[in-house]
Amino acid sequence: MTTKELTETKKAVTENAENDLLATWERCSRKLYLMRGSGHMGQKKIVNILATVGEMSQYDLQNMLEIKPGSMSEVLTKMEKKGYITRSKDPNDKRMVILRITQSGLNWNNSIQKNMARDRKSWFSTLNPSEQMQLHEMLEKLLVDWEEDT
């Protein structure tokens, strides 16, 4: 094989490995999405935040989660109809809406958190603690690099 042919072969192998890695990453991402109970993920995040802080303005929550105002209103309307949250005008600023979690929302959040704690143990049980740490470090490395690019 010539040097040029070796270089082209190495490039092709590298591209295949990168494609395989990306395909595996996508399969894992999809599987994790499904295992986490893909339905109502936005609602689950919101109820967990409100369970932690008690109350928050709709504006602050929408900025924290980087959700568009129309989408946020739609999700909150569904949650309010289910009895998980209440919305009320801020007495100090009538333009602002204050979100509060209800007892029903707290109960739902507690159920979600119990299931998540149980599930997290099984998701990574095939990896020993050292492998889990290595995976965590590699994922953090990727995130740092990607966040610098944006």
- What is the DSSP code string of 44-100? HHHHHHHHHHSEEEHHHHHHHHT--HHHHHHHHHHHHHHTSEEEEEETTEEEEEEEE
* Model confidence pLDDT, tens digit, residues 98-114: 999 999 999 999 998 88
Query: 11 pLDDT exceeds 60?
Result: yes
- Please check whether residues 30 and 86 belong to one and the same domain: no
> Is 1 exposed, middle or buried (CB count within 10 Å of its CB: 0-12, 13-18, 19+)?
exposed
Is residue 75 domain-shared with residue 127, that is, in the same domain?
Answer: yes
Do 54 and 87 lie in a common domain? yes
pLDDT above 60 (res 14): yes
Compute the Cα dihedral for 43, 44, 45, 51 and give only its sign: positive
pLDDT of residue 39: 58
> 19 lies in which domain range?
1-35
Residue 16 in this model has a pLDDT that exceeds 80: no
Q: 37-55, pLDDT tens digit by residue? A: 655 678 999 999 999 998 9
Report how many domains make up the chain.
Answer: 2
